[in-house]
């Protein structure tokens, strides 16, 4: 079933926008082609969630005007604590569609590390960007929304780590949504060449209470042979924001990609997190925690696909659902033929805090190879009365006991976030959302 | 103030519509250590759960009071804050909540807002009690009972006992699954607690724990009642002769409760 969708901006508009931004020809072309294809491509089909009535595509403004931040002092109060001013030497802050602040340590620049906004990347590092941009991880013609993403691209960041470079301190990006009329088609690339390693942490944060914004996020994470990428994210987009999130990783031989995603949006969200374990000996770990509240509907698909031999994939998803919200977890471990000695494990659990909450955890194992190991655990239920009894028997009141159990349940992502301020923010968001 | 008094009178308890306790009478005072012994399935854990207020256990008759206060009127957490403690036969595992955070919440639940225990003081106390119980100090940062061995869980129950310092504790099979070294450590912890302000009810079906902790009173439970009480010599006799003589004396054929069709 396809609903007729009139796209808000045409070829002419997109072309002149791209030219105005000084983008290389290939990008202008990709935008135009994608816009054309978007017409006929199907919508993504998240299992168990109907999205045919969701509005991902109708919006008025491709770009809103926002000011830069001259210094970190000017940041809104909600953003300041995310940044550890003494230690964060590499931060990108984007305000709606506007690159608003950028800092990359001199040391990393000397080592050849590139970290910049997407517009600058396309102008200054066009050839390098072209190698990665919607080529191997997320393809522009994957579905209608990825095509629209390519066509309407209006922000994002590019992080490139050369061979043999190990970056100890986390690289941080903050995508601030403080204009209810803004729409984000935000693209992030984290590319780590052979034997390199990097930790990247991003926040999508709304400071407006509610908005009718469309947010279409694509992240492409590419780890070369023996590279390691740790990717942390905390999403806190406002009520009313319709979000499509597609974060995809590609791991080469002996490469490691580890995701820690705190997906705390207050609006309807469709999220895909896919890791392709292409190389032999590659490793993928995808952790996601989620809270659903109000009447929001969210669908999270986490998929790890094993092509390489001896590859290992771990999926952990924990979700808390209250009020009349819906949270659907689809976990897919897929082992392709030839990926012998691989291991695919997953655990998906949903805690329901109210009668009207809806939750679902669907673990799927698709295995085309004999010599592998795989396992899954899934549950949908309420807070364990036995656990509450135990905590209360030590004097802890019921409400506090519930709070402890819930925070513990969501701890797997909180604990691995490498930036103290972001970790604290996630804890506070959880606190606020589950209360 | 002298020790507290836990008084259980004519206690009848049902679980899932089946009567398990059929009139238990017992009084535990500060300064006393009581042992309840008895074969499996005689209602010992049911008694401890009913005192603590486990929601599955329904009191149909009788009273439980602590220093005259009606315990049955209290929620589980209120009972704990009133001074009761239950070392459980099967402690829960709680992922994501560290042992230290949990214990600090437990201690602070007894204090007023703004008068919470200072972090330094808490850590010092926890470290010293863990050393006393010969526990690895990194157990403080492990998740509550998660992946703990049977022996580690029991030690952790005693750690909680020593940190919380209740007035009256019930320890349900704190000795089961312990090797001799762990048994000695657990006994050391309980003996350390002994004082005029602390009363304890130790539930066990082996006498061996009582080699390390000398009880003041020993009770035997069968068929959901206390059928015999005495001093430490009663435990000795049970050790050498078993329970059959009591069954004969009282004309009991099946000592268990709740299994009848
Ligand atoms: N949770 C429960 N659900 C159903 N029956 C129970 C439960 N707990 C205890 N019982 C019943 O009560 C009887 C006494 O059990 P329990 O108090 O555990 O004995 P003890 O601790 O002396 O071994 C058991 O034989 C069983 O029939
Ligand atoms: Mg028992």
A249 and A391 part of one domain = no
Question: Is the pLDDT at A1 greater than 90, yes or no?
Answer: no
ipTM score above 0.95: yes
Q: Give every CB contact of residue B211 below 8 A, 6+ residues apart in sequence.
A: none
Q: Measured from the CB, is residue B256 less than 6 Å from ligand 1?
A: yes
Q: Which of A279, A313, A328 is a domain's end point? A: A279
Least confident among A3-17, A358-372, B173-187, B213-227: A3-17
Residue A397: give the domain boundaries: 384-435
The pLDDT of residue A7: 64
Question: Is the pLDDT at A5 greater than 60, yes or no?
Answer: no
Q: Measured from the CB, is residue B20 less than 6 Å from ligand 1?
A: yes
| Percentage of chain A modeled with pLDDT above 70 | 98
CA–centroid distance, B153 to ligand 2, in Å, is: 16
Question: Is the pLDDT at A87 greater than 90, yes or no?
Answer: no
Minimal-distance CA residue of chain B relative to A395: B77
CA-CA-CA-CA torsion for B149, B151, B153, B156, nearest 10 degrees?
A: -130
Is A379 part of any domain?
Answer: no
Query: Tokens 């191997």 identify what position?
Result: A136
The pLDDT of residue A86: 74
Residue of B80, B81, B96 lying closest to A411 (CB–CB): B96
pLDDT in tens, A200-209: 999 999 999 9
| The token pair that represents A25 in the structure block | 């020809």
The pLDDT of residue B177: 87
Is A98 part of any domain?
Answer: yes
| Phi, psi for residue B225 in degrees, rounded to 5 | -140, 160
The pLDDT of residue B1: 55
| Contact (Cβ atoms closer than 8 angstroms) between residue A392 and residue A398 | yes
pLDDT in tens, B192-235: 999 999 999 999 988 889 999 999 999 999 999 999 999 999 99
The pLDDT of residue B207: 86
Model's pTM, two decimal places?
0.94
Minimal-distance CA residue of chain A relative to B98: A408
Is A317 part of any domain?
Answer: no
Kindly state whether B212 is in contact with chain A, defined as any CB-CB distance less than 8 angstroms. no
| The token pair that represents A63 in the structure block | 């770009």
Q: What is the mean pLDDT of residues A397-424?
A: 96
pLDDT band at A4 (very low <50, low <70, confident <90, very high): very low
CA–centroid distance, B224 to ligand 1, in Å, is: 10
Question: Is the pLDDT at A23 greater than 90, yes or no?
Answer: yes
CA–centroid distance, B89 to ligand 2, in Å, is: 7
Domain count across chain A: 2
The pLDDT of residue B47: 98
The pLDDT of residue B205: 81
Ligand nearest to the CA of B39: 1
| Contact (Cβ atoms closer than 8 angstroms) between residue B94 and residue A405 | yes
Paired sense of beta strands A326-335 and A297-306, if any = parallel
The strand order across the sheet containing B18-29 reads B18-29, B5-15, B57-66, B69-70
User: Which protein residue's CA is at the shortest distance from atom 27 of ligand 1?
Assistant: B258
Q: How many angstroms separate the CA of residue B87 from the nearest CA in chain A?
A: 9
Residue of A387, A395, A408 lying closest to B110 (CB–CB): A395
The pLDDT of residue B65: 98
A271 and A402 part of one domain = no
Residue of A392, A400, A411 lying closest to B80 (CB–CB): A392
Kindly state whether B76 is in contact with chain A, defined as any CB-CB distance less than 8 angstroms. yes
Contact: A395, B160; criterion CB under 8 Å? no
Is A364 part of any domain?
Answer: no
* Helix (H) / strand (E) containing A33: helix A25-38
The strand order across the sheet containing B33-37 reads B84-87, B168-172, B199-204, B33-37, B217-222, B225-230
The pLDDT of residue A435: 87
pLDDT in tens, A113-165: 999 999 999 999 999 999 999 999 999 999 999 999 999 999 999 999 999 99
A272 and A391 part of one domain = no
Q: Measured from the CB, is residue B41 less than 6 Å from ligand 1?
A: yes
Is A135 part of any domain?
Answer: yes
Helix (H, G, I), strand (E, B) or coil at A404: helix
A274 and A399 part of one domain = no
Minimal-distance CA residue of chain A relative to B109: A396
Q: At what angle do helices B180-193 and B150-164 cross, to 10 degrees?
A: 10
Is A299 part of any domain?
Answer: no
Q: What parts of chain B have a pLDDT lower than 70?
A: 1, 260-261
Is A325 part of any domain?
Answer: no
Question: Is the pLDDT at A3 greater than 80, yes or no?
Answer: no
Q: Give every CB contact of residue B70 below 8 A, 6+ residues apart in sequence.
A: B63, B64
Distances from the Cα of A105 to the Cαs of A88, A197, A435, B10, B160, in angstroms? 9, 16, 40, 75, 48
Q: Which of A264, A279, A294 is a domain's end point? A: A279
The span from the CA of A377 to the CA of A363, in Å, is: 8
CA–centroid distance, B75 to ligand 1, in Å, is: 22
A18 and A162 part of one domain = yes
Q: Give every CB contact of residue A9 below 8 A, 6+ residues apart in sequence.
A: A17, A62, A151, A152
Which chain A residues are within 8 Å of B95, Cβ to Cβ?
A: 408-409, 411
- Looking at every residue in chain B, the average pLDDT score rounds to 95
Q: What is the mean pLDDT of residues A346-362?
A: 97
CA–centroid distance, B90 to ligand 2, in Å, is: 9
Is A353 part of any domain?
Answer: no
What is the set of domains in chain B, with CATH numbers? Answer: 5-94+167-250 (3.40.50.300)
| Contact (Cβ atoms closer than 8 angstroms) between residue B39 and residue B33 | no
Query: Tokens 């007894």 identify what position?
Result: B110
A50 and A182 part of one domain = yes
Determine the atom of ligand 1 nearest the C-alpha atom of B89: 21
Question: Is the pLDDT at A303 greater than 80, yes or no?
Answer: yes
Query: Tokens 């049902």 identify what position?
Result: B14
Q: Measured from the CB, is residue B42 less than 6 Å from ligand 1?
A: yes
| Contact (Cβ atoms closer than 8 angstroms) between residue B10 and residue B23 | yes
Q: Which of A279, A294, A318 is a domain's end point? A: A279
């Amino acid at each position: 079933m396809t609903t007729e969708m009139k796209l808000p901006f045409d070829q002419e508009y997109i072309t002149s926008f791209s030219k105005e931004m000084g983008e290389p020809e290939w990008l202008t072309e990709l935008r135009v082609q994608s816009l054309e294809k978007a017409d006929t491509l199907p919508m993504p089909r998240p299992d168990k969630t109907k999205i045919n009535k969701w509005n991902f595509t109708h919006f008025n403004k491709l770009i809103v005007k926002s000011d830069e931040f001259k210094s970190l002092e000017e940041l809104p109060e909600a953003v300041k604590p995310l940044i550890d001013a003494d230690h964060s030497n590499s931060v990108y802050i984007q305000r709606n569609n506007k690159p608003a602040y950028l800092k990359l340590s001199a040391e990393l620049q000397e080592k050849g590390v590139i970290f910049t906004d997407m517009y600058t990347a396309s102008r200054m590092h066009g050839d390098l960007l072209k190698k990665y941009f919607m080529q191997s991880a997320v393809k522009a013609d994957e579905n209608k929304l990825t095509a629209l993403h390519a066509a309407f691209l209006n922000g994002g960041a590019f992080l490139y780590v050369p061979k043999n470079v190990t970056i100890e301190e986390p690289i941080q990006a903050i995508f601030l949504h403080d204009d209810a009329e803004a729409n984000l088609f935000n693209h992030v690339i984290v590319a780590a060449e052979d034997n390199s390693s990097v930790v990247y942490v991003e926040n999508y944060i709304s400071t407006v209470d509610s908005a009718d914004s469309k947010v279409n996020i694509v992240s492409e994470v590419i780890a070369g042979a023996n590279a390691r990428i740790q990717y942390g994210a905390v999403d806190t987009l406002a009520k009313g924001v319709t979000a499509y999130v597609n974060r995809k990783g590609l791991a080469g031989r002996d490469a490691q990609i580890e995701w820690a995603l705190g997906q705390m949006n207050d609006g309807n969200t469709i999220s895909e997190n896919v890791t392709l374990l292409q190389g032999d000996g590659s490793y993928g770990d995808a952790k996601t925690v989620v809270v659903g509240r109000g009447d929001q509907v969210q669908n999270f698909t986490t998929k790890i696909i094993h092509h390489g031999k001896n590859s290992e994939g771990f999926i952990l998803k924990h979700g808390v659902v209250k009020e009349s919200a819906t949270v659907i977890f689809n976990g897919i471990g897929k082992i392709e033929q030839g990926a012998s000695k691989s291991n695919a494990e997953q655990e998906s659990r949903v805690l329901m805090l109210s009668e009207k909450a809806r939750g679902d955890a669907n673990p799927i194992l698709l295995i085309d190879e004999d010599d592998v190991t795989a396992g899954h655990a899934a549950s949908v239920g309420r807070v364990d009365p036995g656990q509450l009894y135990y905590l209360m028997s030590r004097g802890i009141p019921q409400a506090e006991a519930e709070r402890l159990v819930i925070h513990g349940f969501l701890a797997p992502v909180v604990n691995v976030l490498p930036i103290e301020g972001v970790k604290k923010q996630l804890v506070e968001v959880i606190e606020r959302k589950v209360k | 103030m002298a020790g507290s008094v836990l008084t259980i009178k004519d206690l009848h308890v049902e679980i899932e519509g089946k009567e398990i306790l059929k009139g238990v009478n017992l009084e535990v005072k500060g300064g006393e250590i009581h042992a309840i012994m008895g074969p499996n399935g005689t209602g010992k854990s049911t008694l401890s759960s009913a005192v603590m207020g486990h929601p599955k256990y329904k009191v149909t008759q009788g009273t439980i009071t602590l220093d005259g206060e009606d315990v049955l009127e209290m929620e589980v957490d209120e009972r704990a804050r009133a001074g009761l403690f239950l070392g459980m036969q099967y402690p829960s595992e709680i992922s994501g909540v560290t042992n230290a955070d949990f214990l600090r919440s437990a201690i602070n639940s007894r204090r007023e807002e703004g008068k919470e225990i200072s972090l330094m003081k808490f850590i010092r106390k926890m470290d010293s009690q863990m050393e006393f119980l010969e526990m690895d100090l990194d157990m403080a940062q492990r998740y509550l009972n998660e992946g703990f061995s049977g022996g580690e869980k029991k030690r952790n129950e005693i750690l909680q006992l020593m940190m919380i310092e209740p007035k009256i504790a019930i320890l349900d099979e704190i000795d089961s699954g312990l090797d001799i070294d762990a048994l000695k450590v657990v006994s050391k912890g309980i003996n350390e607690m002994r004082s005029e302000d602390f009363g304890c009810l130790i539930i066990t079906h082996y006498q061996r724990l009582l080699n390390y902790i000398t009880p003041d009173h020993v009770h035997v439970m069968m068929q959901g009642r206390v059928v015999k009480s005495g001093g430490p010599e009663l435990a000795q006799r049970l050790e050498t002769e078993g329970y059959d003589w009591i069954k004969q004396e009282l004309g009991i054929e099946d000592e268990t409760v709740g299994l009848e069709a």
